[in-house]
A = this chain, B = another copy of it.
Amino acid sequence: MGNTESNQNVKSYLQNSGIRPTKIRLSIAGLLFDGTDKHVTVDNVIEMARLSKIKTSVASVYNTLNQFAAAGLLRRVTVEQGKAFFDTNLSEHHHFFYEDEDRLEDIPMGAIQVEGLPDLPAGRSIKAIEVTVRI
């Protein structure tokens, strides 16, 4: 991270999703898309940016994460009322939620299988199936 090659990768990654690679988008993308799976909140990203001396604003972090989610680069995960999580792991998978730590952890893809889905109401299709195991 921080080197020219990965910056170039992140730039292409945004462009391929139709997102213009502006400075703060590249900065935030650089924090998030480093190859490791993450579940971040807006506050997490603001703090990561601060530590990396990236000068930005709360509004821009919201804008950017929402744009990434809309473009399919992040997946929004809702497990508690207050705060939204954004997941960099785009593969089909489910989550442990550590209730006392407010923290998500991936359950590897394929580990969990959901069986016996009933018929859907007419005109509906499945947008997503989310399994949360609260521990």
The stretch that binds B, out of A19-27, A52-60, A118-126, is A118-126
Total interface residues in chain A, CB < 8 Å = 35
**Cβ of A112: which chain B residues have Cβ within 8 Å of it?**
114-118
The stretch that binds B, out of A5-13, A30-38, A43-51, A73-81, is A73-81
Query: Nearest Cβ in chain B — how far from A118, in angstroms?
Result: 5
Q: Given the complex of chains A and B, what is the CA–CA distance between A80 and B81 in angstroms?
A: 7
**Cβ of A111: which chain B residues have Cβ within 8 Å of it?**
116-118
A113 within 8 A of B: yes
Q: Are A131 and B114 in contact (CB under 8 A)?
A: yes
Return the chain B residue nearest A107 by Cβ: B118
